[in-house]
Amino acid sequence: MSKIAFLLADQFEDSEMKVPYDELKKAGHEADIVGLKQGEKVSGKQGKASYTIEKAIADVKSSDYDAVVIPGGSSPENLRLDAHVLKFVTEINEAKKTIGAICHGPQILASADLLQGRTITAYPPLKDDLINAGAHFEDREAVVDGNFITSRTPKDEPAFVRELLKAFVI
């Protein structure tokens, strides 16, 4: 089974964390909640979910993970300027490991300069920003481009989870 890092900060979109996290764990995968500060409690912007950061991004190695999932909401905005976060996702990408990003999650990929020539989707109002970062934007429930799996909004979670689970079939 795969070991997956969930990148999380305060004000994440509740279901975009909870649904993939629960479904991947239910399928037998190991998941760590990785954020800026170990032990910090972070809450969803809807007030329906909260998690404790299990590992600080500065303390983890990309080589310890098979994939990363980036939930949306304001969480990516709170993570995207951290050098450790950018290094982590860059190394995951260089190793051709799966990167799942939903809603605002691709903001981190833009900040890490990973979108040039990639086909992705995201929360539709981010379209221009992502195109300016070099991406080809498609308004679909889930887009798979190599090791990238992206989705738009909470209503697309079933497709997002389906594509994540496909990526982890051994």
Catalytic site positions: 103
- Whether 127 contacts 141, CB under 8 Å: no
- Whether 23 contacts 100, CB under 8 Å: no
Tokens matching residue 64: 């310890």
Give CA–CA dist 155/7, Å, rounded: 20
**Three-state DSSP class for residue 62:** helix
Single-letter code of the amino acid located at 87 = K
Phi and psi of 91, rounded to 5°?
-65, -40
- Whether 104 contacts 74, CB under 8 Å: yes
